[in-house]
């Protein structure tokens, strides 16, 4: 009996195509991952990303939030590499993968129904990478298409592009070479009407240019949205019904009616602890009044609190009143301090209201650069910024854990904000790490870490190009579309507001933006307003608080930081400096106590606890690579006498011969009549023959020295 084989058919296969920034964009459906709610293979140039959207058929018991998970998987085979880990397989996502997952999460999350509680998983797997065509953009487009055509309730679609600034011109989705020289890298995600996500890094770009880039991206995004809407009309599935999250509206209305005045009094303070204490006391009164008639009220308390506080905060902000009594354009009391910790290389403490961040800068040799094992073009990172958010910063008793996605995201935002002002390796040959410890949190700690880190870098003597400050802008919208923006949001305003628009930069321009939303998007009017008020605020922070604390970077690095010398040698001499099996360089390190890093281009970076060790190591290397030049004067030691002349050491292991006829300006019978072993003498290189032998003249050297002294020149 023979085996029966049938050719597999894919009757549900569809392919949609368009051009994006001059390169083909394809969305394929119906061939892969058929058991997911929807799966889209995105092709952008030669980049391929498979995006799968999957939803649980029903919510988990007792869940009171929307459990959305977004993963961006970097497969090393996509760039023809084997993972560098011990197991030689992908493990925990890298930093870039986590940041990309956050960029996907932020714009899609607000577009799910408010009371949707089913688990939803978005998995974007990068299978092939063309560095000219961003996998991040491909994953965003694929996520939008997969959710839109699936049966999962969602109010998309969205479109996404990047914008660069090359030679003063805005470019949609710049290629790899353009990105290397671009002054801007902004990712913009839009719906058909509004902008729902902005993530930017920039080289001090002004507000007008940034605004034009966002406008351009929003317009470009409409082409993708039109294509995805076509997919929905042709192959989209009907959205499934879901059990709406339960809420006791009658109880909520009764509590609001009876406790509004007390709730307002509880909220009206700038102290987070006082507010929470007052509110908890009021909840006890709710229990006394309603628990008998509403025995299940505790399951609604969190949502009742959220809706009640939001109702108050929204009404106040629309009237121009803030929870802590500030004006809309007023920043909380600020303080800045440097040199907080005695032994570290640099430290800065920045305080804004009840938000406090202590940043610490550490300098090391370039061998401490972070090595990256990713699908991206970058292979190492010289400037690193890490952000820690312990439980005590918000008054919670919880143990320390490894950094989560939020901590990684906030650290990356601060790193991106400061990177444009970090000096080049030629100017400052150090690896630099800054750690921001959030010691107290009541809103906008990421921007506090940017300010604190600027202080720490300047305190460490890092010659940054300009100081950077960061501030956040909030938003409240009324039902009629009117809106109010306000500067420096604190925790309760962040929690109940509709926007956290974070902007960092120098006085000259923007270095980073990150925008988080809880609504359906921003109009261009709101974006323009947010850019303007954050600029004014950060200039005030710099002028009134940070620069009076430390006006410029310290002229020298800390005495506890390693001292550094940079030198360059002929790349052909590198093997001589290293020696067989590293024997030469290891001896230099052992003898001098210095750390030595050598690049393939002949750049050598020497670091040591003190300048003397650096100088000693440099002299050792100078001696090894020393090559005498014809016509130059040298001051050397006589090391050997022969009947025909004397050998003079110009550098360790580098001798030259002074013939007996060149030892004096008169005839001598014996070499010993002119010199003895150990004597120091000036010599001039007269010839280097084809075998590399060096011929010297003491007579010619003395004539040249006499002429220079007569002319008043200094002999080196």
What's the whole-number average pLDDT of the chain?
92
pLDDT of residue 1 exceeding 80, the answer is no
Question: What pLDDT, on the 0 to 100 scale, is given for residue 400?
Answer: 85
pLDDT of residue 715 exceeding 80, the answer is no
Query: Residue 395 and residue 465: Cα distance in Å, rounded?
Result: 37
Residues 6+ apart with CB under 8 A from 440: 354, 355, 356, 393
Q: Which DSSP symbol is given to 133?
A: B
pLDDT of residue 385 exceeding 80, the answer is yes
Report residue 509 as tokens.
């321009």
Question: What pLDDT, on the 0 to 100 scale, is given for residue 62?
Answer: 79
Q: How sure is the predictor about 519, in pLDDT bands with cuts at 50, 70 and 90?
A: confident
Please tell me whether the peptide bond between 157 and the residue prior to it is cis, using omega within 30 degrees of 0.
yes
Burial-class residue 8 by CB neighbours within 10 Å (0-12, 13-18, 19+): exposed
pLDDT single digits (tens) 298-323: 888 888 998 998 888 888 888 888 88
Query: Residue 403 and residue 398: Cα distance in Å, rounded?
Result: 14
pLDDT single digits (tens) 44-84: 999 999 999 999 999 998 788 899 999 999 999 999 999 88
pLDDT single digits (tens) 618-659: 988 988 888 888 998 999 999 999 999 999 998 887 899 999
Q: How sure is the predictor about 238, in pLDDT bands with cuts at 50, 70 and 90?
A: very high
Segment 499-526 mean pLDDT: 93
pLDDT of residue 370 exceeding 90, the answer is no
* pLDDT > 90 fraction of the chain, expressed in percent and rounded: 65
CB 188 within 8 A of CB 253: no
**Region of residue 284 (phi > 0: left; psi between -120 and 50: alpha; otherwise: beta):** alpha
Question: What pLDDT, on the 0 to 100 scale, is given for residue 368?
Answer: 87
Segment 153-182 mean pLDDT: 96
Cα distances (Å, whole numbers) of residue 693 to 656, 671, 682: 7, 20, 18
Segment 394-404 mean pLDDT: 87
Q: How sure is the predictor about 477, in pLDDT bands with cuts at 50, 70 and 90?
A: confident
Segment 182-208 mean pLDDT: 96
Q: Are strands 47-55 and 334-338 parallel, antiparallel or unpaired?
A: unpaired
Query: Residue 221 and residue 250: Cα distance in Å, rounded?
Result: 43
pLDDT single digits (tens) 127-147: 999 999 999 999 999 999 999
pLDDT of residue 481 exceeding 80, the answer is no
Indicate the pTM of the whole model: 0.86
Report residue 643 as tokens.
């009947």
Question: What pLDDT, on the 0 to 100 scale, is given for residue 480?
Answer: 75
Query: Residue 100 and residue 189: Cα distance in Å, rounded?
Result: 13
Residues 6+ apart with CB under 8 A from 678: 637, 638
pLDDT single digits (tens) 265-303: 999 888 888 888 999 999 999 999 988 888 888 888 888
Structure-model confidence comparison of residues 481 and 240, the more confident one: 240
Neighbours of 67 (CB within 10 A): 14
Q: How sure is the predictor about 231, in pLDDT bands with cuts at 50, 70 and 90?
A: very high
Q: Which of 159-163, 215-219, 224-228, 577-581 bottoms out in mean pLDDT, i.e. has the lowest?
A: 577-581
CB 202 within 8 A of CB 512: yes
Q: How sure is the predictor about 529, in pLDDT bands with cuts at 50, 70 and 90?
A: very high
Strands (E), 466-509: 469-477, 483-487, 499-505
Q: How sure is the predictor about 259, in pLDDT bands with cuts at 50, 70 and 90?
A: very high
CB 596 within 8 A of CB 585: yes
Segment 436-449 mean pLDDT: 93
Segment 371-397 mean pLDDT: 90
Query: Residue 538 and residue 352: Cα distance in Å, rounded?
Result: 13
pLDDT of residue 716 exceeding 70, the answer is no
The candidate with the shortest Cα–Cα distance to 152, out of 50, 231, 57, 233, is 57
Structure-model confidence comparison of residues 19 and 325, the more confident one: 19
pLDDT of residue 223 exceeding 70, the answer is yes
């Amino acid at each position: 009996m023979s085996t029966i084989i049938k050719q597999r058919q894919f009757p549900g296969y569809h392919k949609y195509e368009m051009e994006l920034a001059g390169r083909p964009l394809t969305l394929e459906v119906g061939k892969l991952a058929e058991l997911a709610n929807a799966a889209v293979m995105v092709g952008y140039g030669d980049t391929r990303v498979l995006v799968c959207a999957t939803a649980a058929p029903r919510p988990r018991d007792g869940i009171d939030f929307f459990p959305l998970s977004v993963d961006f998987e970097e497969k090393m085979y996509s760039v023809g590499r084997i993972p560098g880990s011990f197991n030689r397989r992908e493990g925990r996502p890298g930093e870039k993968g986590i940041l990309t997952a956050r960029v996907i999460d932020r714009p899609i999350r607000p577009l799910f129904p408010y009371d949707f509680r089913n688990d939803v998983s978005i998995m974007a797997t990068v299978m092939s990478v063309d560095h000219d065509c961003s996998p991040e953009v491909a994953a965003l487009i694929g996520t939008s298409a997969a959710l839109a055509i699936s049966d999962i309730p969602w109010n998309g679609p969205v479109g996404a592009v990047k914008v660069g600034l090359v030679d003063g011109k805005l470019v949609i989705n710049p290629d790899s070479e353009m990105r290397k020289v671009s002054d801007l890298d902004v990712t913009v995600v839009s719906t058909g009407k509004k902008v729902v996500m902005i993530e930017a890094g920039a080289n001090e770009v002004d507000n007008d240019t940034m605004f034009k880039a966002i406008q351009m991206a929003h317009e470009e995004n409409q082409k993708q949205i039109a294509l995805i809407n076509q997919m929905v009309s042709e192959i989209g599935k009907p959205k499934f019904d879901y059990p709406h999250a339960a809420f006791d509206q009658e109880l909520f209305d009764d509590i609001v009616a009876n406790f509004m005045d007390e709730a307002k009094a509880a909220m009206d303070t700038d102290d987070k602890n006082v507010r929470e204490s007052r509110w908890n006391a009021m909840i006890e009164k709710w229990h006394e009044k309603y628990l008998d008639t509403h025995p299940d009220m505790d399951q609604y308390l969190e949502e009742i609190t959220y809706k009640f506080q939001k109702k108050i905060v929204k009404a106040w902000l629309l009237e121009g009143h803030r929870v802590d009594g500030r004006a809309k354009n007023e920043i909380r009391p600020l303080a800045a301090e440097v040199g907080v910790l005695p032994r570290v290389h640099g430290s800065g403490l920045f305080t804004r209201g009840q938000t406090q961040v202590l940043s610490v800068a550490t300098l090391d040799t370039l061998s401490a650069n972070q090595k990256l094992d990713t699908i991206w073009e970058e292979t190492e990172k010289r400037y690193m910024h890490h952000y820690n958010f312990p439980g005590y910063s918000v008054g919670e008793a919880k143990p320390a854990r490894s950094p989560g996605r939020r901590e990684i995201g906030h650290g990356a935002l601060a790193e991106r904000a400061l990177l444009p002002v970090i000096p080049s390796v030629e100017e400052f040959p150090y690896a630099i790490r800054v750690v921001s410890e959030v010691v107290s949190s009541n809103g906008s700690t990421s921007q506090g870490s940017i300010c604190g880190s600027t202080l720490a870098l300047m305190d460490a003597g890092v010659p940054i190009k300009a100081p950077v400050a960061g501030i956040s802008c909030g938003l409240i919208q009324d039902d009629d579309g009117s809106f109010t923006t306000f500067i420096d949001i604190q925790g309760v305003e962040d929690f109940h507001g509709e926007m956290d628009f974070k902007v960092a930069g120098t006085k000259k321009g923007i270095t980073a933006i990150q925008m988080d939303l809880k609504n359906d998007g921003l109009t261009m009017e709101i974006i323009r307003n947010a850019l303007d008020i954050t600029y004014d605020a950060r200039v005030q922070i710099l002028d009134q608080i940070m620069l009076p604390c430390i006006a410029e970077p310290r002229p020298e690095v800390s005495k506890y930081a390693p001292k550094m010398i940079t030198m360059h040698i002929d790349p052909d001499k590198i093997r001589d400096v290293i020696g067989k099996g590293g024997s030469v360089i290891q001896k230099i390190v052992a003898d001098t106590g210095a750390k030595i890093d050598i690049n393939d281009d002949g750049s050598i970076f020497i670091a040591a606890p003190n300048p003397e060790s650096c100088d000693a190591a440099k002299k050792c290397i100078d001696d090894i690579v020393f090559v005498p030049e014809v016509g130059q004067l040298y001051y050397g030691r006589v090391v050997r006498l022969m009947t025909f002349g004397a050998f003079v050491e110009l550098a360790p292991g580098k001798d030259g011969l002074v013939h007996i006829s060149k030892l004096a300006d008169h005839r001598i019978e014996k070499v010993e009549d002119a010199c003895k072993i150990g004597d120091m003498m000036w010599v001039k290189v007269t010839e280097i023959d084809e075998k590399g032998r060096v011929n010297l003249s003491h007579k010619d050297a003395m004539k040249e020295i006499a002429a220079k002294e007569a002319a008043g020149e200094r002999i080196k």
